[in-house]
Structure 1
């Protein structure tokens, strides 16, 4: 459904993206992970036909994203990473403007009402008085109410509080049930993990890897950092049968796939000075590419 082949765009200062190639199937959600400045937004702007690539190509449903950029807008909804509005308008006036550009369909109005309720947004307020989070909600409503088969979202939860981030994840899951195809950039691992079948890592404009999220989940493990009182406790930990790595004389990392009962029994028999749960290996598998 979406195919990127050796896509390249280099800016004057040398930053940009180089030779990106990946494919995405219809009806799936694809996560695009990377730190700020990695090239996520540049890739999305090329997918939307806002810029001409230096080389390579991108296609959505067979349409070339540059040559057929006008036709592309009829099948794709877009949420930009940086939102710009007509600040004098109310939220409702802005949504009415977007609705009018798409033929004032009855289903758009119905979707709009449901989205406003879910995101707890009052559209009567003038946009210039809205907080960053409220403006982000308005952008989400404008993108999702069109009920397009393809959604391209650039940092969609930027500015949202944790409760609204959870609501947004639930919204994505609902769209997936409808068979929508969703391309979503983010630097928040948790929302990618919960919503995507595949995720790609981009760093300094280069695609480092594409991972199947489900296969990683099947093999995910947890890590714990433990500091014990003395050598006797350390030796007991070494002989426990747990998978451990020494960080010092009395500090250890414990890697756990199962055997949780063994972990708690072991810790109950020694003097623990410090105990900290680390990141899931699933997240760590991606974070190593950042480092």
Structure 2
């Protein structure tokens, strides 16, 4: 059995809202991304994993324990960043982190200090008056400082500026090297592409696709953007046997999708054309999932 197993998980709030027959498997030491737009069901899934919600149907199992009946035991393994951060009454970030450490039985704060430094957080600030970014950093420190086996992160970089996002990705990759099991929801494809082993796409509470990020990076299908010097050559190329995805008549540009096996044919063909430039458009997780998302719309 997988380290984290979600079987037929359903929570129907009515009007098509909720999650429906969700099935996911996360292996020990795997970093798993969970992407989708706001309202897709990411937080509802995570609340079930944390034992905050009781499933209407289906189960969540973590390390062989039931997500609902064994919630207290499971929480001892987990560092959690909620999507909506609401701190208890504590005068400062330092005081809040100290109380969290006491609850966790943590006496060595050296790892917490290193994360504070990395995220450039001033924990002595008044907790209630902290900016969204400062609160987010404080929540990250609280989730990671006891070095838990599992990290469950709901949109963990909300409110962080691009520089701090990059630092967080570094931090996450460090946790990954330690062998942590990480489940992270996000609406930012780039973030999950740089950290996750596998990514699942959820839409309208239903799982649309699960993909290994390495497969996307090594995809045999490539996209090229080509611009021709003359309009006549551009028009002539349109009748060549390649899959053209976009045409830009005014700029004499075409975008083509091509399999690795046909790359030599493309370049042989292009020797007969004076071209201004050719550029490979990198195939990303975002382009992969966007294609699936659009396809799903057509069939819905």
TM-score by length of 2: 0.85
Greater Cα shift, 85-94 or 162-171:
85-94
- The aligned residue for residue 253 of structure 1 is 255
- The aligned residue for residue 142 of structure 1 is 142
Deviation by residue 1:117-152 (Cα, 9 ceiling, x = unmatched): 010001011022221111111110110101100000
Greater Cα shift, 62-71 or 87-96:
87-96
- The aligned residue for residue 199 of structure 1 is 199
User: How many equivalent residue pairs?
Assistant: 286
Separation of aligned partners in 1, 2:110 and 2:153:
22
1:18–1:241 Cα change, 3 Å: closer
1:242–1:17 Cα change, 3 Å: same
Q: CA deviation at 1:269?
A: 3.5
Q: CA deviation at 1:282?
A: 3.5
- The aligned residue for residue 2 of structure 1 is 4
> Which of 25, 28, 35 is equivalent to 1:26?
28
Residue 228 of structure 2 contacts residue 275 of structure 2 at CA under 8 Å; is this kept in 1? yes
Structure 1 gaps, min length 5: none
- The aligned residue for residue 118 of structure 2 is 118
Separation of aligned partners in 2, 1:251 and 1:165:
35
1:68–1:14 Cα change, 3 Å: same
Deviation by residue 1:13-61 (Cα, 9 ceiling, x = unmatched): 4410000011111011011111111000000000000010000000100
- The aligned residue for residue 95 of structure 2 is 93
Separation of aligned partners in 2, 1:282 and 1:21:
21
Where 2:128 maps in the other structure, the secondary structure is: helix
Match status 1:152 vs 2:152: yes
- The aligned residue for residue 168 of structure 1 is 168
TM-score by length of 1: 0.87
Separation of aligned partners in 2, 1:240 and 1:133:
52
Separation of aligned partners in 2, 1:8 and 1:171:
33
Separation of aligned partners in 1, 2:43 and 2:284:
27
Structure 2 gaps, min length 5: 295-300
Residue 221 of structure 1 contacts residue 281 of structure 1 at CA under 8 Å; is this kept in 2? no
Separation of aligned partners in 1, 2:110 and 2:143:
14
Q: CA deviation at 1:97?
A: 1.3
Q: CA RMSD in A?
A: 2.9
- The aligned residue for residue 233 of structure 2 is 233
Match status 1:17 vs 2:22: no
Q: CA deviation at 1:185?
A: 0.6
> Which of 283, 287, 291 is equivalent to 1:284?
287
- The aligned residue for residue 44 of structure 2 is 42
1:270–1:236 Cα change, 3 Å: farther
Q: CA deviation at 1:233?
A: 3.2
1:131–1:211 Cα change, 3 Å: same
Separation of aligned partners in 2, 1:211 and 1:132:
32
